[in-house]
A and B are shown apart, each in its own frame.
Chain A
Amino acid sequence: MKLTDAALAGDRRALARLLTWVENGTPEGREALATLFPRTGRAHVIGITGSPGAGKSTLVGKLAKEIRQHEPRLAIVAVDPTSPFSGGALLGDRLRMQDLVADTGVFMRSMASRGHPGGIAHATRDVVLLLDAIGFPVILVETVGAGQAQVEVARIAHTVVLVEAPGMGDEVQALKAGLMEIADIIVVNKADRPEARQTVRALQAAILGITTAGHHGPAVEQPLEVVAGWETPILQTAAVDNQGLTALVEAIAAHRRYLESSGRWELLSRLHARAEVETWLQRHLMLLLEEKVGEQRLAAAVEAVLRREKDPATAAQELLAPLWSQ
């Protein structure tokens, strides 16, 4: 049996291997995705973002357990950073999701960012597509959470949950990084701590600032805008003590209902599809460029720039000449 058929039939090992192929961008992985693509578009993809240590993994583990009460299956993708020095990575999110292991309805996969900025890996989108195609109705994506530039998760998720923790000064950080603008739900985790209420208040004030002042600030390209019709709730959870989870699950379900009834689900699908085609366009273009330009000519251009014979923009334009003459 082909691996895709096996995975569709519920073979988890086949799925695990397909995920590896897709993550590595192998031709087999590409082919599997192309075959399975018509089956995608059904899963509710929930992004979980926020600073390291806020409790994202712990919360994802508990949330998964709660969601599993009503869903037959659920997948988790957790991204951790790749070390820029060694290219290796320590993927430790499983550590916080121990209760899930006995549940074969949950499939959890760790991914390294592999040098990709933006809080998710280059292949996270494809991994999510594969899980969607296989039939997971809910997919939780935990981002790296390294401060800024976490906004990319908004390009793959329908619902973005921003997790904050008290006493980390995160509110300001989140504002700067444009995180609050992509958040559909904000969670103050570690609500067992007394400082949590202060954090909630700071976030409420910050949210008010965004919705009244409108859009300016971060120079990050925003695929989405602050939308009318959905008021970003600020919830409190204590993931370690199983507190606040029911309300969070309800808020996520409410957000989904809102997306569907407002027509925003379709709009998001369109935006995501566009972002995806653009990404592939860039990727294919880069490959084409590498092929047409070649390392030798690139190196020669760099030398010319170093000798101050050419400015970088002109050098780059000249490198592209062979592409136009076809």
Chain B
Amino acid sequence: MDRKIRVLIAKPGLDGHDRGAKVVARALRDAGMEVIYTGLRQTPVMVAEAALQEDVDVVGLSILSGAHMALVPRILEELQKRNIGALPVFVGGIIPADDVPALKALGVVEVFGPGTNTQSLVGFIHQVVEA
């Protein structure tokens, strides 16, 4: 038997930078996880379909565009439509402190700022997956 933590790292929205998302994806790979990386400009449907088909344990959204308050609820809704609303979703990127409680109220398990140490992200994922 060979169980691995599977993580979807998605980059929804229209901004064209995925350096941060790639850094995170590589760090998680180096921590022994299987990371499904889907690239730029993912629509909420694309994110939810990838999460469904890949049967991931956790979803990470990288959002730098400032559109998180518009995108996150739509993504969560698409996950729910597919009966995978219970999947832990975390958000990384540039998120103003004021929006963090609102995102968490929507169901996001954690929000990581740009300076987040990848080790703490790895620890966090282990924690939510093994809970």
Contacts and interface: CB of A to CB of B under 8 A. Distances in A.
A316 B116 CA distance: 51
Nearest to B27: A88
Interface stretch (B43-51, B63-71, B89-97, B99-107): B43-51
Contacts of A25: 1-2
A13 B38 contact: no
Given A13-B83, A86-B30, A88-B29, A95 B53 contact: no
Interface string B1-34: 1111010000000000000000001101111111
Nearest to A97: B38
B29 A86 contact: yes
A102 B45 contact: yes
A12 B52 CA distance: 8
A16 B32 contact: no
A83 B29 CA distance: 8
Interface string A68-110: 0000000000000011011111111011001001100001111
A83 B30 contact: yes
A114 B6 CA distance: 13
Contacts of A24: 1-4
A26 interface: yes
B84 interface: yes
B39 A98 contact: yes
Given A20-B55, A24-B1, A110-B54, A13 B82 contact: yes
Given A17-B55, A88-B30, A90-B29, 5 more contacts: A88-B28, A88-B35, A94-B54, A98-B46, A109-B54
Interface of B: 1-4, 6, 25-26, 28-39, 43, 45-46, 49-50, 52-55, 82-84
Q: Which 10 A-B pairs have the closest CB atoms?
A: A88-B29, A95-B39, A16-B55, A101-B46, A87-B32, A88-B32, A20-B55, A91-B36, A86-B30, A89-B34
